[in-house]
Structure 1
Amino acid sequence: MNQDDGSPKYVTDMIFPDREGGYLKGHETRELILRTALSIVIERGYKAMSMRGVAAACGMKFGNLTYHYRSREDLVRELMEAVISSYEREFETIMIMPGVPAEERLRRLCMLLLDDIRSKKTTRFFPELWALSNHDQFVLERVQDLYVRARAPILEIVKEMRPDLSDAECEIVALFISASMEGMTIFAGYEKPFEKRMPELEHLAVLSFCNLVKTLAPGELAKTR
């Protein structure tokens, strides 16, 4: 769904990666598996997402599941790819809006992400990954890659707005904006204590981020080192 101005209203759950060859039924089966895996993580947590548990929830034999995904790591890798691809599509919609100034695109991008935090999927899926990444190197690497890709459009806009800042300065600003938004999940996400006050938090966040990008003095961050 889109807003009247054409910018995305929210992020779809997943965009399924294309695979070369194979039958339509095979693609449909993989989509079923990924949707089921995501649902299990959202409703019961990552630990409940075992290969046998996913197979049972899909109503298929374990051997049929391993035909499509040989290991849990393969399944997690493609699940995260499907999730981040949905964000990248919406980011692209905002980034290529003709005639829209960089500051306005930053505002719309932040609003999209902050609105998305209030969804059940986002509030439950990503914190599960954060917790697991503390103990699982494979998930840690996947999560880091996911956020590098998620920060990319923010970094692009910051560089466009502030060509006088160094690459390192732009990168830390983009990281700060991304981290600040993600941190709101536990306070104002789905069914969290301040969910109803997210519109106020969104306003403060976007105002603060835009002012930061516009007013940060070149070299100012170097003074903190």
Structure 2
Amino acid sequence: MPFSNLESRRFKSIAIADLAFPAREGGYSKGHETREQILSSALHLLVEEGYSALSMRKVAATCGLKIGNLTYHFATREELIRALLDALISAYEVEFDAILQFTDEAPEERLAEVCGLILEDIRTKKTTHVFPELWALSNHDPFVLERVQELYTRARRSLLEIIRELRPDLSPQCHEDLALFISASMEGLTVFAGYRKPFEGRMDQLERMAIQSFLRIVQIYQPASS
């Protein structure tokens, strides 16, 4: 993709939804609606008050339910958090899958689209507040560590698919390494240029620099000879 065309990305103005839920079988369902309300309330608490605020009683109070009604849908805090993070990453997968469907675009263009979408999402309050907290918690909480690793494995799938198309000459391990490097590089910008961070105002320039670098490294990368 010509670097001069980065500003004309098809998905540049798309915002990733906070959460994504499976289609409701049989149309309207009060039970599904309540589950979605619970998860939306849990995300609000996570963004505004942090992981420690995600007690079952506080989530119930936030969405106007009795604790018994909450535990009918989510028996434990761990079950609630697992469902919350699943809905969170599903929202990204919806947009990534949409990008991958545009097979009329060159893989370089699709890589730029995916990376651009992630980098723009970093500017949101949700992403800046939620993900660094999960990173810190994963150092001490095995349950959070497992959920975070699962989340990022799913998030890298779209990158892997495009990298494989761009560099079929490389091994599967090299594809994994490139996807991991690109993902980690983007996520690292959160603490510097995310929502209300010191370099938030430079994010346009950082985004352009990052996408150019990622395209280039995928094109020229060669593993060290053994």
Q: TM-score range by the shorter chain?
A: over 0.9
Bigger drift between 9-18 and 159-168 goes to: 9-18
Give the 3 Å change call, closer, same or farther, for CA 78–19 of structure 1 in structure 2.
farther
Deviations 1:5-31 (A, max 9, x none): 642622110112357789711111111
Deviations 1:43-79 (A, max 9, x none): 0000011001101111111111101100001100100
Contact 2:60 2:70 in 1 (8 A): yes
Q: How many residues align?
A: 219
Find runs of 4+ consecutive structure 1 residues off by over 4 angstroms. Answer: 3-6, 18-23
CA distance in 2, matches of 1:160, 1:98: 11
Bigger drift between 19-28 and 72-81 goes to: 19-28
CA distance in 2, matches of 1:112, 1:10: 8
Q: Which residue of 1 aligns with 2:98?
A: 93
Give the CA RMSD over aligned residues: 1.8
CA distance in 2, matches of 1:205, 1:4: 16
Contact 1:7 1:108 in 2 (8 A): yes
SS at 2:20 equivalent: coil
SS at 1:193 equivalent: coil
Contact 1:7 1:93 in 2 (8 A): no
Deviations 1:88-136 (A, max 9, x none): 0100111110310000100111000000000011111111211111111
Report matched runs for 1:130-209 at 5 Å.
130-209=135-214
Please give the TM-score of this superposition, normalised by the length of structure 2: 0.92
Instruction: Indicate the percent of aligned positions where both proteins have the same amino acid.
Output: 57
SS at 1:10 equivalent: coil
SS at 1:89 equivalent: helix
Q: Which residue of 2 aligns with 1:78?
A: 83
Bigger drift between 95-104 and 14-23 goes to: 14-23
Q: Which residue of 2 aligns with 1:60?
A: 65
CA distance in 2, matches of 1:133, 1:24: 35
CA distance in 1, matches of 2:130, 2:25: 28
Aligned pair 1:7/2:11, yes or no? yes
Amino acid at match of 1:215: I
SS at 1:138 equivalent: helix
Amino acid at match of 1:46: Y
Gaps of 5+ in 1: none
Gaps of 5+ in 2: 1-6
Give the 3 Å change call, closer, same or farther, for CA 43–206 of structure 1 in structure 2.
same
Q: Which residue of 1 aligns with 2:221?
A: 216
Amino acid at match of 1:112: L
Aligned pair 1:110/2:115, yes or no? yes
Decide which of 69, 72, 82 is 2:74's aligned counterpart. Answer: 69
SS at 1:113 equivalent: helix
Give the 3 Å change call, closer, same or farther, for CA 5–207 of structure 1 in structure 2.
closer
